[in-house]
Amino acid sequence: MKRALEALRDAPGLVFDLRGNEGGGEPPARYAASRFLTGKTLEGYYDYRDGQFNGKEAVWIKPGRKWKHNRPVALLTNHRNLSTSQSFVATMKQLSHVTVIGDTTAGVTGVPRTDELPCGARFIYSTGTYYLPDGTIPEWTGISPDIVVHQTVEDPKEGRDTVLEYAIKHMEKRMSP
């Protein structure tokens, strides 16, 4: 991620395709978001539980120190964005130079943890609740894009990516003088 962002840091605009990203570690997502921030930005709130809920904790992301990309960005989303990718979308959606395009995210967060039983079986369970910066919980409802563009079942069969095509046209308009 670091190398890719570094290579594109002077691009006049970016199409950031997050579709199908099912999440992952918070540090890489926060690093990526930091490269687009112009000031300290609220990612959201987490309420972790360790037998009981402990109260909401705000998570702030500071802008990257070396460089920032504050030119137009189209962030593509769909119903397969879950977990950390949703908190990334929530952070990026707050920025005036970012337009979220595509479909609503999955609405699955839960701050998952995986453990192993003595018999070797593994299980995943929720360790907390994630709240959007406005205090709402995206569980079940997801995060809506700024611009809804649906990909039909026929589009890929015909070699079309309707969401990407729309994003490119959108970026061309935003970047034209």
pLDDT number for residue 110 = 67
pLDDT number for residue 140 = 86
Instruction: Give domain status of residue 58, yes or no.
Output: yes
Instruction: Give domain status of residue 116, yes or no.
Output: yes
pTM of the model: 0.86
Structurally, how many domains does the chain consist of? 1
Instruction: Give domain status of residue 47, yes or no.
Output: yes
Q: What is the 3-state secondary structure (H, E, C) of 111-159?
A: CEEEEECCCCCEEEEECEEEECCCCCCCCCCCCCCCEECCCCCHHHHCC
pLDDT number for residue 121 = 92
Collect all residues with Cβ–Cβ distance below 8 Å to 83 and sequence separation of at least 6.
22, 23, 24, 108, 109, 110, 112
Instruction: Give domain status of residue 2, yes or no.
Output: no
Ranges of the chain whose pLDDT falls below 70: 51-53, 110
Distance CA 28, CA 5 (A): 12
Q: For position 32, which CATH number holds?
A: 3.90.226.10
pLDDT number for residue 115 = 85
Instruction: Write the DSSP symbol of residue 96.
Output: T
Instruction: Give domain status of residue 52, yes or no.
Output: yes
Instruction: Give domain status of residue 5, yes or no.
Output: no
Instruction: Give domain status of residue 140, yes or no.
Output: yes
Domain that holds residue 139: 14-175
Instruction: Give domain status of residue 164, yes or no.
Output: yes
